[in-house]
Amino acid sequence: MRILLFGRNGQVARCVLEEADSSSEVIALGRNEADLMRDGAAQEAIAAHQPDVVINAAAYTAVDRAEEEKHAATHLNANAPGEMARAAKDVGAHFIHLSTDYVFDGGGENPYLETDATAPLNVYGRTKLAGEQAVLEANPQSIIIRTSWVFSEYGANFVKTMLRLGAERGSLSIVADQIGGPTPARGIAKTVLAIAAKKCRGAPGDGVYHYQGTPPVSWATFAAKVFDYAGQSVIVNETSTAQYPTPAARPLNSVLNCGRIERDFGLPMPDWRATLRQVVDALSKK
């Protein structure tokens, strides 16, 4: 199975490279190999490599900065994925695209189903939703995986920020009214590789899926667990979203119903606590 992977330096892509076994050839492209801000770059790469599967783990993920950099966010999150989906279809490759819980507005208390109405609150969410729509319009057999609160030992993420701040301060104020599921990048990597293999063997299933860590928690509770595993004595002061304004609005409820991905592909939600301990241990040794 030949996989063409976009977003080589991101959290998920780095884990895909580590988790892929010898039966898979993974060709990972970063900006130097395929500048997705340039129209045609993705199509050229897919045509050149003729993969069996294309995985898009590239995205503009700076949620607050996206409010000012709408053009860049739109190009990376919407235009490029649509181009990839078309090009993958042209070469007969399966296409897997990663999206986000931020396509929802966070209203209500129930976990979101794939079929629930979308209503993103910020530019990042709107561009990711536009990407989903572009992908499915270009290639309806594509697979889109919405996930949330991604963490790993790589890149920039909440866990690494908390470890850094916890080493500097004795107390931190963390938002407690945003609830979601922290999701290990390694779990996402294993999931996309499993789906890629199943699709290459002819398994049914396409469209939008949810994949998220369990159990749901607030950012404050997640931070407290990070400090606990790291052995840092940090007092977590719970605050509200209203008391901690940011340039981009965030959904209060980011909990996703992941029943469909388990039914179609046999892939359950990961318990984020086990992976978090491993990530904290790895980062503590650096």
* CATH code, 2-152+185-212+255-270: 3.40.50.720
**Is 229 in the active site?**
no
d(CA 11, CA 189) in angstroms, rounded, equals 9
Which of 60, 102, 112, 124 does the annotation list as catalytic?
124
CA-nearest of 56, 68, 63, 67 to 30 is 56
Phi, psi for 94 (deg, rounded to 5): -75, 145
What would you measure as the largest C-alpha separation in the chain, in angstroms?
A: 56
SS (H, E, C) 197-254: HHHHCCCCCCEEEECCCECCEEHHHHHHHHHHHHCCCCEEEEECCCCCCCCCCCCCEC
Secondary structure letter of residue 110 according to DSSP = S
pTM of the model: 0.94
Q: How would you write the pLDDT of the chain (286 residues) with one tens digit per residue?
A: 999 999 999 999 999 999 999 889 999 999 999 999 999 999 999 999 999 999 999 999 999 999 999 999 999 999 999 999 999 999 999 999 999 999 999 998 899 999 999 999 999 999 999 999 999 999 999 999 999 999 999 999 999 999 999 998 889 999 999 999 999 999 999 999 999 999 999 999 999 999 999 999 999 999 999 999 999 999 999 999 999 889 999 999 999 999 999 999 999 999 999 999 999 999 887 7
